Amino acid sequence: MTRSKQFTGGTPSRNDGNAEVRALEDFARSGEQNDENSTVKLSDGAQGGPKGSQAGDGSAVSITVNCVNLSDRGQQFGERGGNLARRRYQKGRVFLRGIKNPVWVGRWREDEIKDGRIRRIEKSEVLGSKSDFPTKRLALRELEKRLTVVNDPRYRARPTATFEEFASRWESLVLTQHKPSTQITIRSHLRKHLVPYFGRWQMKDVGTLEVQRFVSSVGLSAKTKKNLVATMQMLWKSARVWGYVAHDAVSDVVLPKRHRVARRFFSVEEVQRILASAPEPYHTFYWLAVETGMRAGELCGLRVSDFDLERGLLSVRQSVWRGKFQSPKSENAVRCFSLSPRLMAHIADFLKRWKPNENGLFFATRNGTPWDANLLVKRKLYPLLDSLEIERGGLHAFRHTNSTLMDRLSVPLKVRQERLGHSDPSLTLGVYTHVASGDDVRIAEQLDAMLRGKVAGEEKVQTGVVLRPNAPKKGNGSEVESSKPLYLN
C-alpha cells in the first residue's frame, strides 16, 4: 500500500531553501516511520534537481522515499528472493471441542506451495486436554510454540507433498545416483515398509514421535530396523535441503540394541579339506578368498590386470553385484596388498590355462560374464561342504577366517584393517575376529600353570611359551617377584 503526503505553498526563498528538505527528513522520521512505503510530493515550485534547480510556478516535483509495492502473494526477502508469508503477526485462536473429554484445539494460517503457487491455508491441531491446560490463556501459550516458525520474519512458504509423493520424486532424482546394490535395497525398504506406513502423511507432519512409533511397531530384527532408519535419514536429508521440511525427525529416534550373533568361520583343518577337495577353478577361488579375505563381489570382479606377478601384488578396484560392475563397498575397499609366493606361482600357472574374455575377468562364465556369488554358493560350495560333512558357511565365512588367522599371527591392527578394507578398526576386531578353540585352550593351560606354581610351590610347567623371558633371576634360578601386574600378550 502507498501513502502520499502533499506540501503546498509558494516558491521557497534561498534563505529557507533547506527548510523543505528538513521538512522531508522530519516527515521520514515521524511517528509514521514504521511504514517505509511513503510517497511525498512537493508542489508549487519546490526545489529539486542538482544544486538548486527549481521548477516553475504551477509545476510539481514528486519525491519518493523507499517506495515498495508488495504483491498480495508475499514479499521478497534478501538477495536470493523467494516469496514469504505476509509480514503479519498472528496469535491464532483456541477453542474447546468435546463434552465428556474436552480438548483444546488451536487454529492458525500458514503459506504453502502447491502446483507452483502459494496458498494460505488454515491449520488445526489438538493442543491438549482441558486437564492439561485448565485455562484458555494456558492453551494460547501452547499455541504460541506452534506459531514461532510462522511469525519468524525469515519464514517462507514451503512446498507440500505426501511421503509417498516425495519418496517417488526422491527415487527418480537421488536414488538413481547410487550403486545398483544400494538402489535395490532402498527400494525394498520404501516399498515394503516406509511407504505403506507413512505414505499418506504430509512430510511436514512426520515427526520424531511418528518415526519412533514406526520403529516400535514393525516386527523386524534390530539390524533391519537400523537399516530402515538409515534409509529414512537419507530421504529426510534431501527433504530438508529441498525445503519440504525444516525439522529433523530421525536423529533422535532410539533404536533397539543389536544382540551379537555367532558368525560362521572355518577352522584351519576345514579350510585344508575344502582346498584339497575343490576342483579348478573353484580351488583357486576359495584359496584367494581365505588368504586375502576379499568380499565375494570383489572376487567375482577380479580382472587379470589386477594381478602384479612381478611384485606379488593384488589390487581391488571394482566389484560385481548380480552380474553388474560397480565400485567397491567404500573408499577403504579400494586397496592393494601382497600375496604369498606360493599363491602367486599358482596364479601364474592358472593363467596359462585361462581363456580370454571380453572384460578380462579372472573368473568368467562361458559367455564371458562375471560369476554370480549366490549361485556359486548354492550350486558349488554347499554341495562340497555337505560331502565333506562340514557345517555350511557362505563365502563370507572365508573372510571371517582370514581375519581370525591374522589375529592369531599377531598381525598389527592397521595391516589387518587395510587388507580387509575396513574403515573402522573396531569392526575388524569386534565382528571379524574370532577366538579359536586352540588359542582358548592354550591360554587356559598357561593360567593353570601360573596358579599351580604360585599356590603349590611347584616348579613352572613348561607350556612352550615363555611368559617373562627377561625377568630378573634369583641365585637359585627362580624369577624375582614383581610388584607390577603380569600381562599375557
pLDDT in tens, the chain (489 residues): 444 444 444 444 444 445 554 554 554 454 444 444 444 444 444 444 444 444 444 444 333 334 444 344 444 444 444 444 445 678 889 999 998 899 999 998 877 777 767 777 788 888 889 889 999 999 999 888 878 877 777 776 677 889 999 999 999 999 998 888 888 899 999 999 999 999 999 898 899 999 999 999 999 999 899 999 999 999 999 999 988 888 899 989 999 887 766 678 888 899 999 999 999 999 999 999 988 888 899 999 999 999 998 888 889 888 888 878 888 877 778 888 888 888 889 999 999 999 999 889 999 998 889 999 999 999 999 999 999 999 999 898 998 888 888 888 877 888 888 888 876 655 555 455 554 455 555 655 665 565 555 444 444 434 344 444 444 555 555 444 444 443 333
Q: 449: exposed, middle or buried (C-beta count within 10 Å: 0-12, 13-18, 19+)?
A: middle
Strands (E), 237-369: 307-308, 313-316, 319-321, 324-326, 335-338
Say how far apart CA 20 and CA 261 lie, in whole Å. 87
Q: So what's the pLDDT on residue 135?
A: 92
Q: Nearest Cα to 321, choosing from 295, 354, 350?
A: 295
Given a contact cutoff of 8 angstroms between Cβ atoms, the answer to whether 400 and 265 are in contact is yes
Q: So what's the pLDDT on residue 117?
A: 76
Q: Nearest Cα to 273, choosing from 261, 262, 286?
A: 286
Give me the half-sphere count of Cα atoms (radius 13 Å) on the Cβ side of residue 11: 13
Count the neighbouring beta carbons within 10 Å of the beta carbon of residue 477. Answer: 6
Q: Is 250 left (phi over 0), alpha (psi -120 to 50) or beta?
A: alpha
Count the neighbouring beta carbons within 10 Å of the beta carbon of residue 353. Answer: 8
Say how far apart CA 322 and CA 297 lie, in whole Å. 9
Q: Give the helix ranges, DSSP H, for 246-395.
A: 268-277, 282-292, 296-300, 341-352, 373-376, 382-388
Domains of the chain: 3-65 (no CATH), 75-159 (no CATH), 186-241 (no CATH), 268-430 (1.10.443.10)
Which residue carries 637359585 as its cell? Answer: 476
Q: So what's the pLDDT on residue 88?
A: 66
- Cell, residue 213: 512409533
Which residue carries 516527515 as its cell? Answer: 27
What residues contact 270, with CB distance under 8 A and at least 6 apart?
Answer: 388, 390
Say how far apart CA 142 and CA 140 lie, in whole Å. 5
Q: So what's the pLDDT on residue 274?
A: 93
Torsion of the alpha carbons at 405, 408, 411 and 412, rounded to the nearest 10: 120
